[in-house]
Amino acid sequence: METRFVYPDDCIAALATPFGESALAVIRTSGAGSIESLAKLTENPESLEKAGGNTMVFGYLKDPDTSEQIDQVMFGIFRAPKSYTGEDSVEMYCHGSIPGIDRILQTLFSHGFRQAQGGEFTLRAFLNGKMDLTQAEAVHELVTARTRTAQHLALGRLKGSIYHQIDGYKKLLIRVQAGVSIQLDYPDDEVEEIPWDFEVLDRIQKGLETLLASYSTGRLFQEGVVVALAGRTNAGKSSLFNLFLKEDRSIVSAIPGTTRDYIEAPLSLKGVPVKLYDTAGLRVIEESIEQEGIRRTTQVMGRSDCILYLVDGTQGLTPEDEEQLATWEQRPLIRVWNKIDAEGVLRTPAGFLPLSATTGEGFSSLEDRLYTEAVKSRGAGLEGTDAVIDSARQKRCLEDTLGALADLQQGIAQRMPLDALALDLQRALGALGEITGEVTREDILDAMFSGFCVGK
């Protein structure tokens, strides 16, 4: 298989900020010789060549072919190994006009620099030992986090929350392995004792299981949950939608059937990213536009993680509501009795949450309930969220490790020969090492870093 990163040690450059008009644009470069190559593109090459690491240099970029000035720039100079990538590196703080950025990049690309591929800076950081793979993945997660909690969890991983745990378990396993090796080296020792420290093995397994279980929580924060508002027209879905968003996004109207298509909006529910859908009401009607709206409503309900089903408390439960509730019974669903502020509202039946989408009464209980449902429907737990894994790759490695450890325990119970058991142990250690990237194949690296944005 062809991999993209064979000998990634040439000079790369990329725009690290969005390509658009802004006060500043940051252009990142890295690679042996990058400082010298860049110096040639400035009015005063010595100021860069002689600059120490971790210093800023003020100057002008020029096109060496025409000697024309391109931009006034602050150069951040980093010298190997003290840089993000571990290589010589220059970060340029330029002016953020689109033609300006374009001109600078074109000049770099025709004078010794190549366009960096997605994630290539972080890949180099990993290859140069600046971070382990869980931290490299956290960089990506940190950039793409959608809520504050997600961002916080990713930052924890970047600081090494996963790495330190894995490293701890690995050291314990190596101790177990050492005990086995001694036994293997001196087989004719009369000790028939099995050299297994079951207490330590248990501790490792439990710890890894906890980490593995945190994956659903990690995914919850990364992907978020889909919540659909449903119910008959005029139940107050659009009003509730706006209450969630704290703004008037969806049209609220006393005329039935105003919302004909669904609209969606992102929001954060106590740190969990939610995609909330306001749907067309469920109402049997001849008109074809509205029928299409209803078809789409059913579709959105079908793929949601939780349905908020609203009933107009002044109207009470209709046969249509009963039918809908029966249809979606198997799904995570919260029954909401709306319009409790209204004159002549009927008593809230058992199993319904009282709400006024107009006054906001009952809304915080609804939020609590939705949060619990959303977390539960994803099988996530939020206790001890200091180390949460959020990578399918890490999950697979943990499963491999636990698989090998289970084989080991079974082998011990069946009194398998020690050298066979030593192989299980080796397999467990290998899978554990893969998590942090001590043993990682190039194609895995390739797949992993290609999901990054350019400039990271």
Ligand X SMILES: Nc1nc2c(ncn2[C@@H]2O[C@H](COP(=O)(O)OP(=O)(O)O)[C@@H](O)[C@H]2O)c(=O)[nH]1
Q: Is 122 in the site for Mg ion (CB under 5 A)?
A: no
Taking CB under 6 A as the criterion, the residue among 239, 324, 348, 391 binding ligand X is 239
Partner from ligand X, Mg ion, none binding residue 356, C-beta < 5-8 Å depending on class: ligand X
* Token couple for 7: 């000998």
Q: What is the closest distance, in whole angstroms, from the C-beta atom of residue 34 to ligand X in the complex?
A: 57
Q: Is 324 in the site for ligand X (CB under 6 A)?
A: no
Partner from Mg ion, ligand X, none binding residue 338, C-beta < 5-8 Å depending on class: ligand X
Q: Is 253 in the site for ligand X (CB under 6 A)?
A: yes
Partner from Mg ion, ligand X, none binding residue 44, C-beta < 5-8 Å depending on class: none
Q: What is the closest distance, in whole angstroms, from the C-beta atom of residue 252 to ligand X in the complex?
A: 4
Partner from ligand X, Mg ion, none binding residue 29, C-beta < 5-8 Å depending on class: none
* Interface segment toward Mg ion; rule CB under 5 A; list 236-244, 304-312, 343-351, 375-383: 236-244
Q: Number of residues in contact with ligand X, rule: CB under 6 A?
A: 21
What's the rounded Cα separation, in Å, for the pair 277 and 231?
Answer: 12
Taking CB under 6 A as the criterion, the residue among 85, 89, 324, 356 binding ligand X is 356
Nearer to ligand X, 72 or 253 (CB): 253
Nearer to ligand X, 140 or 339 (CB): 339
Q: What is the closest distance, in whole angstroms, from the C-beta atom of residue 352 to Mg ion in the complex?
A: 20
What's the rounded Cα separation, in Å, for the pair 382 and 275?
Answer: 20
Q: What is the closest distance, in whole angstroms, from the C-beta atom of residue 278 to ligand X in the complex?
A: 7
Q: Is 234 in the site for ligand X (CB under 6 A)?
A: yes
Taking CB under 6 A as the criterion, the residue among 83, 135, 238, 436 binding ligand X is 238
Q: What is the closest distance, in whole angstroms, from the C-beta atom of residue 234 to ligand X in the complex?
A: 4
Q: Is 259 in the site for Mg ion (CB under 5 A)?
A: yes
Q: Is 293 in the site for ligand X (CB under 6 A)?
A: no
* Interface segment toward ligand X; rule CB under 6 A; list 176-184, 206-214, 250-258, 417-425: 250-258
Nearer to ligand X, 110 or 253 (CB): 253
| Sign of the torsion angle spanned by Cα atoms 186, 188, 191, 196 | positive
Q: Is 315 in the site for ligand X (CB under 6 A)?
A: no
Q: What is the closest distance, in whole angstroms, from the C-beta atom of residue 234 to Mg ion in the complex?
A: 8
The residue at minimum Cβ distance from ligand X is 236
Q: Is 259 in the site for ligand X (CB under 6 A)?
A: yes
* Interface segment toward ligand X; rule CB under 6 A; list 15-23, 260-268, 334-342, 391-399: 334-342
Q: Is 339 in the site for ligand X (CB under 6 A)?
A: yes
22-30 sheet: strands from edge to edge: 55-63, 68-78, 89-96, 22-30, 12-15, 114-115
Q: What is the closest distance, in whole angstroms, from the C-beta atom of residue 331 to Mg ion in the complex?
A: 21
Q: Is 284 in the site for ligand X (CB under 6 A)?
A: no
Q: Is 238 in the site for Mg ion (CB under 5 A)?
A: yes
What's the rounded Cα separation, in Å, for the pair 137 and 391?
Answer: 8
Q: Is 354 in the site for ligand X (CB under 6 A)?
A: no
* Token couple for 258: 């105003």
Nearer to ligand X, 169 or 337 (CB): 337
Q: What is the closest distance, in whole angstroms, from the C-beta atom of residue 277 to ligand X in the complex?
A: 12
Placement of tokens 């040439």 in the chain: 10
Partner from ligand X, Mg ion, none binding residue 155, C-beta < 5-8 Å depending on class: none
Q: What is the 3-state secondary structure (H, E, C) of the chain?
A: CCCCCCCCCCCEEEECCCCCCEEEEEEEEECCCHHHHHHCCECCHHHHHCCCCCEEEEEEEEECCCCEEEEEEEEEEECCCCCCCCCCEEEEEEEECHHHHHHHHHHHHCCCCEECCCCHHHHHHHHCCCCCHHHHHHHHHHHHCCCHHHHHHHHHHHCCHHHHHHHHHHHHHHHHHHHHHHHHHCCCCCCCCCCCCHHHHHHHHHHHHHHHHHHHHHHHHHHCEEEEEEECCCCCHHHHHHHHHCCCCCCCCCCCCCCCCCEEEEEEECCEEEEEEECCCCCCCCCHHHHHHHHHHHHHHHCCCEEEEEEECCCCCCHHHHHHHHHCCCCCEEEEEECCCCCCCCCCCCCCEEECCCCCCCHHHHHHHHHHHHHHHCCCCCCCCCCCCCCHHHHHHHHHHHHHHHHHHHHHHCCCCHHHHHHHHHHHHHHHHHHHCCCCCHHHHHHHHCCCCCCC
Contact residues for ligand X (CB under 6 A)?
Answer: 231, 233-239, 252-254, 258-259, 281, 338-339, 341-342, 356-358
